[in-house]
Structure 1
Amino acid sequence: MTNPTAGRPLRSDAVRSRKLLREAAASAFAEQGTNVSIAQIAERAGIAKGTVFRHYATKEDLVAAIICENIDTLVDIGERLRLSADAGQALRDFMTAILEVQASDRAFCEVATGIAHDQPAIRAGTERLQAIADALTDRARLQGAVRPDITGQDVMLLVSGIYQTAAPLRSTHPQLWRRYLSLAFDGMQAGDAADLPPFDPDH
Structure 2
Amino acid sequence: MIRADAARNRRLLLDAAAAEFAENGMDVSIARIAARAGVGKGTVFRHFDSKEQLVTAIFCDQLDGLAATGTGLLEAEDPGAALLAFMTAGVELTAADRSFCQVTAEMSRSDPAVRAASDRLAGVAESLADRARRAGVVRPDVTGHDIVLLLGAAAQAALPVGDAVPGLWRRYLAMIFDGLRAEAAHPLPVPPPTSRDFAPQP
Fold in common (TM above 0.5): yes
- Cα distance in 2 between the residues matched to 1:137 and 1:187: 14
Q: Which residue is equivalent to 2:106?
A: 115
- Cα distance in 2 between the residues matched to 1:30 and 1:108: 8
Aligned residues: 193
- Cα distance in 1 between the residues matched to 2:125 and 2:40: 40
Q: Deviations over 1:132-169 (max 9, x none)?
A: 11111111111100011222222222221111111111
Q: Which residue is equivalent to 1:65?
A: 57
- Cα distance in 2 between the residues matched to 1:176 and 1:60: 31
Q: Which residue is equivalent to 1:36?
A: 28
Q: Bigger CA drift: 81-90 or 32-41?
A: 32-41
Cα offset, 1:187, TM superposition: 1.1
Cα offset, 1:15, TM superposition: 5.2
Q: Aligned-residue CA RMSD in angstroms?
A: 2.1
2:94·2:151 contact (CA, 8 Å) conserved in 1? no
Q: TM-score, normalised by structure 2?
A: 0.85
Cα offset, 1:91, TM superposition: 0.7
Q: TM-score, normalised by structure 1?
A: 0.85
Cα offset, 1:34, TM superposition: 2.8
* Structure 1 portions without partners, runs of 5+: 1-6
1:38·1:49 contact (CA, 8 Å) conserved in 2? yes
Cα offset, 1:19, TM superposition: 4.2
Cα offset, 1:108, TM superposition: 2.3
Cα offset, 1:47, TM superposition: 3.0
- Cα distance in 1 between the residues matched to 2:50 and 2:111: 11
Question: Which is richer in helix?
Answer: 2
* Structure 2 portions without partners, runs of 5+: 198-202
Percent identity, aligned pairs only? Answer: 49
Among 85, 91, 97, the alignment partner of 2:89 is 97
> Which one has the largest radius of gyration?
1
Report the secondary structure of 1:36's partner residue: coil
- Cα distance in 1 between the residues matched to 2:16 and 2:145: 33
- Cα distance in 2 between the residues matched to 1:160 and 1:135: 19
